[in-house]
Amino acid sequence: MDNDNGLLLVLSGPSGVGKGTVCTALRQRITDVVYSVSATTRPPRAGEVEGVNYFFKTKQEFKRMIEQDELLEWAEYVGNYYGTPRRFVEETLASGRDVILEIEVQGAMQVKQKFPQGIFLFLAPPDLQELQNRIVGRGTETEESVRKRMDAARAEIELMNQYDYVVVNDEIEQACQRIEAIITAEHLRKERQIHKFRQWMKED
C-alpha cells in the first residue's frame, strides 16, 4: 500500500465492551477520520440516509457483492445481511484519510484475511466481572442470554493475540486517548515517513 494512503483501523471486542460508545466519543475528538459505512439488506429506518448510515441493498445485490468479493467482511443477522464494502474503504484510504471500522471479532478476523495491512485494535473490559455488569446493566438480557454472551466473550478474548493493540475500556476518555496515541504512532512509523525524506534528498 502507498505510504501516503490513510490507515484502516479495525476496532472490535466482545459484546458489551463499549465499542459503539467509544466510537461515538472518537467521532467528537477526531473529526478527520472517516467511519466506515456498512451495507445492509434491512430497510431504512426513519431518518436514515443512504451512504451516511448505511448503503441499502436488496438481498440479490448483496449476494452479488459476496460473489464478486466486494466485501471485506459480512454476516447474516436476524434474516438480514450486513457487511463492509471494500470499494468505500479503499477509495477513502487512497484519498489519504484514515478509516475506522467498528465490528465484531469474527468480522475483524475476516478483514484481517483480506486486508492484513490494517491496524487491529482489541477493545477489552477491565475484567470479566465488569463486562458482565455492563451486559446485565442494559436491562435487555435474560439470564440465559447473559451466560451465552459471557461464554462468547471468553472465546473472543482468546483471539486477542490476533490483534496489534489491546485497549482497555475502563474509562471512555482514557480509551479514546489510547486510540489517538496509537493512530499518531502508526502515522510516524518509519515505513510511512522515510520516502518523504528520500524524495527531499533527491531534490537537494
Residue-wise pLDDT for 11-23, tens only, equals 999 888 888 899 9
Q: What residue spans define the domains of the chain? A: 8-36+98-203
Side-chain half-sphere CA neighbours of 57 within 13 A: 21
Helix/strand/coil percent split, the chain, to 5: 50, 20, 30
Contacts of residue 66, defined as CB under 8 A and 6 or more positions apart, other chains included, come to 74, 83
Extract the C-alpha cell encoding 59: 438481498
Q: How many CB atoms lie within 10 A of CB 94?
A: 13
Asked if 13 and 122 count as a contact pair (C-beta separation under 8 A), the reply is yes
Contacts of residue 121, defined as CB under 8 A and 6 or more positions apart, other chains included, come to 9, 10, 11, 12, 163, 164, 165, 166, 167, 179, 182
- In whole angstroms, what is the distance from residue 25 CA to residue 93 CA? 22
In this structure, of 23-27, 63-67, 158-162, 172-176, the range with the lowest mean pLDDT score is: 23-27
In this structure, of 91-95, 136-140, 168-172, the range with the lowest mean pLDDT score is: 136-140
Q: Which fold has domain 8-36+98-203?
A: Rossmann fold (3.40.50)
Task: Give long-range contacts, CB 8 A cutoff, 24+ apart: 82-90.
Answer: 82/38, 82/39, 82/40, 83/38, 83/39, 83/40, 84/36, 84/38, 84/39, 84/111, 85/37, 85/38, 85/39, 85/55, 86/114, 88/36, 88/37, 88/55, 89/8, 89/36, 89/115
- In whole angstroms, what is the distance from residue 105 CA to residue 96 CA? 26
pLDDT for 204 beyond 70: no
pLDDT for 123 beyond 70: yes
pLDDT for 1 beyond 50: no
Q: Give pTM, 2 decimals.
A: 0.84
Mean pLDDT of the region 144-168: 91
Strands 71-77 and 80-85 turn out to be antiparallel
